[in-house]
Every structure is written in structure tokens, then in C-alpha cells.
Amino acid sequence: MMDWDEQLDDAVLAILSALHAETGDERAHSAGPGMSLAKLSKRVEQRMSTLRRHLSALESAEIVSVILNEDGTGRAILTPFGMAIFDALDESQATATA
């Protein structure tokens, strides 16, 4: 069984990875920057409440920016700091497996 820290890391990494992939996908920006929370929830297979909790922590750390609408919908996007962190994580993962 996975311990809580590993689960959290995997969940957060999945969110960062999905947002990073979205940043590189120019077609996705027609609705605005970032990814809709509904799409992100499906992509990372997390319930909306769990996703919002992770995003709140990432936003506090200035890694992700979340834009919420009055109707409860919203979008999440990596900040430049978040992009730098993801790129550094990605490089360390690449060197660890090489």
C-alpha cells in the first residue's frame, strides 16, 4: 500500500504534468489560457474536491494560478515559477532513469 506522501506526490505530479502538456498545446488556448478544472479533473482522474484542494496548495506556493468564475467553473495554469519547477523535475527524472 502507498503511503500518503507518495500518493500526494503522484497526484500533484499528475496535475503539473497535465498543465505542462496543455501549455505546449496551442489548439487548447481557444477557450483561454490553462486548462478547465473539469477537463483537468478528468485528465488526472481526481474528484473535483480533491483537485481543488491540491490546486489550492499549489496556488499558495505560487506554482499554479487558478481563475474561478461565478458559476463555479474555472481554469488552472502553471505560473512561470511552476513551469521552472516542472522543467527541473522533468530533468531530474530523465537523469535518474538514464
Q: What are the boundaries of each domain within the chain?
A: 4-97
Quote the pTM value.
Answer: 0.80
- Highest-confidence segment of 21-25, 26-30, 32-36: 32-36
Of 12-26, 36-50, 67-81, the poorest mean pLDDT is in: 12-26
Non-local (6+) Cβ contacts of 52 within 8 A are 37
Max Cα separation, the chain? 47
Under CATH, which architecture does the 4-97 domain have?
Orthogonal Bundle (1.10)
Per-residue burial over 61-87, b if 16 or more Cβ lie within 10 Å, else e, is eebbbeeeeeeeebbbbbbeebbebbe
